Chains A and B, each alone.
Chain A
Amino acid sequence: MSGAGSAIGKDLLGLEELSADQIQLLLDTAEPFKEISLRAIKKVPTLRGATIVNLFFEASTRTRISFEFAEKRLSADTVNVQSSGSSVSKGETLVDTARNLEAMKIDMVVIRHPSSGAARFLAQRIESNVINAGDGMHEHPTQGLLDLLTLRDHFKRLAGLKVCICGDVLHSRVARSNIWGLKKMGAEVAICGPRSLLPNAVEAMGVTVFRRIEEAIEWADALNILRLQLERMQAGYIPSQREYNRVFGVTREKLERAPRDILIMHPGPMNRGVEIDSDVADGPHSVILDQVTNGVAVRMAVLYLLSGGNPALAEAAKG
């Protein structure tokens, strides 16, 4: 089995590997899929007969449900496997788990894993299409794509757009996928956060670094505000939530000084009153729920395009 038939390859592991044309194709393909979720019967027969396993080794609500909706709206059969309560908790290795699933004749695996590179590791060892739903601090490509789609919906373009990713960029796979995707599509990217939570040498990627949120607000067309993981505080990266909110939190008062309306994005789940204030999250320029809606369309597009490179499905259809 190979991915030769699919326009985006066998697997979706990250946006780093994709060309601008491939990202464009994914976004354009997501466009008509939006309409399906507005129908009374939210289902098309496209992936009938395909079996997809959602293999989640890390807690997730939004991403897992979004993938599951995307799969079901394309008529695929889905199975959810979580690390707790499965053989994974008995010490089975990732590859053994996946090979056992493959022995039950599956077509695709959606994987979320706490280790960077887990999706690629799996993709190299199994025949099924692998979709990375977040691997450690590496990438979360479908989140990157849905952020790009939401920005494109709003601004009608990506080239030349100024997007600042705010917060814990160092540990964020969402940030990495966004930086790759935005740079490839010709947007200008900046990051802003406490020095302890920004990666080194990111300027070499052509990314601007702001040390103060006020500078980011002065510069940006859109802010993508990352969740501050509370365990970072215990690890000593930041002094306190209140201090973080005062210095880096996006508040209405800070936004009122912006020279233009700034689009507000957040990948969720939000810590209201920490990285983002409720006034901003629920404000007129927030597209946080549009991101969630677009997530289903983007994931449908990924499944649709990847399934084009799956000869087993082609054979099955010929019957």
Chain B
Amino acid sequence: MADELVELFDGTDDLIVVGIQRRGVQLADRLVAMIAEREGVQLPRGALDITLYRDDLQTVGPRPVVGKTHLPWALEGKRVVIVDDVLYTGRTIRAALDELADFGRPARIALAVLVDRGGRELPIHADVVGKTLDVPRGGRVDVMVNDLDGEDSVVMVPAEER
């Protein structure tokens, strides 16, 4: 994925990697580390918490915990890659695009996800995908990352087991 990203942007100039809280941030860290190893460039890594931009916030009852957003750079003219663990309905990415727009107007925004499980409800697609899985509605994909979960794994949970 790191190689694909560098290829997609034709280099690493003006590139900012932004992870979506929470697991997207860990994955963004790893992409930044891999790019540093391969290209010798340390890219800035931001974090985006999209809770306050969710379109279902008024319907979810008790308020979800809000995480940290960390984007201390001017985004004008920059190239931003959003990183998340699982791409499903596309609503999280819609919220992330809205939030990014409140920070500035990047020259380009791309999307990198570890897993694309299908099931889109909005016209959104990923530019870089680690793995495509066909998971029926009702099923779940859990991505675990070492820093938060103690292991690295992707687990598919079928609907009947939930």
Listed in ascending order, the chain A residues whose CB lies under 8 Å from chain B are: 5-7, 28-29, 31-33, 35-36, 39-41, 43-46, 49, 74, 304-305, 307-309, 313-314, 316-318
Alpha-carbon gap, A4 to B99, bound state (A): 30
Docked CA distance A41–B101 (Å): 9
Is the Cβ of A44 less than 8 Å from the Cβ of B52? yes
Of A41, A304, A318, the residue contacting B59 (CB under 8 A) is A318
Q: Mark B52-71, 1 if CB is under 8 A from A, else 0.
A: 11001111111101111110
Contact A32 B67 (CB under 8 A): yes
B112 CB to nearest A CB, Å = 24
Report the nearest A residue to B21, measured CB to CB: A32
- Chain B contacts to A: CB under 8 angstroms: 49, 52-53, 56-63, 65-70, 98-99, 102-104
Q: Which residue of A lies closest to B72 (CB)?
A: A38
Shortest beta-carbon distance from B50 to chain A in Å: 10
Q: Is A308 a contact partner of B66 (Cβ separation < 8 A)?
A: no
Chain B: CB-nearest residue to A44: B52
Interfacial chain B residues near A43, Cβ < 8 Å: 102
B63 near A305 (CB under 8 angstroms)?
yes
Q: Which B residues lie within 8 Å of A32 (CB)? A: 49, 66-69
A contact residues around B67 at 8 Å (CB):
32
> Mind listing 28 A-B residue pairs with CB under 8 Å?
A5-B62, A7-B62, A29-B63, A29-B65, A31-B68, A32-B49, A32-B66, A32-B68, A32-B69, A35-B69, A35-B70, A36-B52, A40-B104, A44-B99, A44-B102, A45-B52, A45-B53, A45-B98, A49-B58, A74-B52, A304-B52, A304-B66, A308-B63, A309-B61, A313-B58, A314-B61, A317-B58, A318-B58
